[in-house]
Amino acid sequence: MAFNLHRFLRIFVILLFSCFSSIHCGSGNDSSQQPPITPINRDLYRTSAALMEEIEALVNRHQDKLHMETFQSTNKGYKAELNVVTYCQNRTAIEDKSKFRILLSFGQHARELITSELALRILSILSEEQFLPKMDPLLLKKTLEKIVIKVVPLENLNGRKKVEAGDLCERRNGRGVDLNRNWSVDWGKKEKDYDPYEENPGVAPFSEPEAQLMRKLSMSFDPHIWVNVHSGMEALFMPYDHKNTTPSGLQSQKMKLMLETLNHLHCGDRCVVGSGGGSVGYLAHGTTTDYMYDVARVPMSYTFEIYGDEKASSKDCFKMFNPVDHLTFNRVLNEWSAMFFAMFNMGAHQINDPQESTPFNNMDNLISIDDYLNELQRVIDHTCLPFLSQIKCPWSCYLIVMDLWYNQVVKSDTSLEDMTLLEGGGNDREDPQSISKEKPKILLIEQLDNKVDSPFNRSKFKRAYNEFWHHTNLKGANAI
């Protein structure tokens, strides 16, 4: 009996061990079915320290064009550092307020390493150590003479260090706050799909030193263009992020026109274009771009998303947000560098001398809109980027023409108040409402002297302007 009991116990122990072994092996087999986590490709991506060392060396080699400053801020023991590189073809003219000013930020979300690599590529092209294919160097030189660019290569340095330490899905700063939710426009609002880990907005607007430094930089620089560079998809976003609409007015149409042009010429029409809130699939509150547009009054405020792997697992963050092979890595940097320099050119030609950029000023007091558009097209063909000649009149040009009229007549302090709006091609007055999209008629503007019995005042001009937009049925165009 004792022998049988001993045998029974041995068999029981063996079976029990086998059971635990099978459970362990089974769980191991389950985990083997999980997709692998892609590590950082050190052959492609620099560490944050190496990146900043390379940028600093670049600045030192080109001190005639580049200048770097380091700013620091501390909040409750948490310290942040912001490196800012300024480009100006003639460094002594950095403070020249007549130049077109562009502010770019990269690396706001820590896991998006590719964005900071793009910052380095852009700076290398600006310093002429690398070159854009198919870019006329003389044209580029003329463009760069007119602009000042400030580049923040790595906004979220503390968060980036956490990624480099192995937390590949980290997007927040060094103390767990999403820097793109820490700005004041609609701050703190939480949607139904709000993720408290990913989208932590902080304890208050601008609670984070990084956001404080960026706000101070934007206010002192007063840019004409702002771009917040991210990855996760391919998109060209304009405000708003906190609602699914775009701003009203002509400026919004000009912003969208620029994005659509860039998308067509440099993104093969594959980039998503529109408001962040209306295009990305969720609303974001307290974002930098909404602040830049609504509070800082940056006329053209954008968010660019430069890469995304939709097939990557949600846990495989490095692969989801960054190219992992040499071919894709270089393609992304080349395509988006070209995109940015195209934007630089488009921006630079908005600040030409008024006598050069506004054909209306060089003509007689009486001018047809067709002649006006033809002259505008001539200016585009001869003084702007070659690719802008693809934007043919009349409809895209009407945006520019009506904007010029509005700014010269409605907003000006000059004596252009006495104007007459005529239509037809002769002296016969016709109803402005007869303008049709199918066959645009001729609009005439005539400046009259003080003896005119019935001056065309600002309010009448506004009404005609509104009627023009209404009867062209141009989607999204808004009246004054």
Question: Catalytic residue positions?
Answer: 305
Q: Is 24 helix (H, G, I), strand (E, B) or coil?
A: helix
> Are 260 and 333 a contacting pair, CB within 8 Å?
no
Which helix (H) or strand (E) element contains residue 25? helix 2-32
> Are 298 and 224 a contacting pair, CB within 8 Å?
yes
Q: Helix count (H) and strand count (E) of the chain?
A: 15, 11
Q: Cα–chain-centroid distance for residue 409?
A: 31
Positive/negative CA dihedral, 48, 55, 122, 66? positive
CA-CA-CA-CA torsion for 21, 23, 29, 30, nearest 10 degrees?
Answer: -160
Alpha helices in 136-196 (DSSP H): 137-144, 157-164
Q: Is 460 helix (H, G, I), strand (E, B) or coil?
A: helix
Structure tokens at 370: 């067709």
- Specify burial of residue 359 (Cβ count, 10 A radius: 0-12, 13-18, 19+): buried
3-state helix, strand, coil in the chain (%, to 5): 45, 15, 40
Question: Where do the DSSP E strands lie in 354-401?
Answer: 367-368
- Scan for tokens 């520019």, then name that residue: 400
Rg over CA atoms, the chain: 29
Single-letter amino acid, residue 27: S
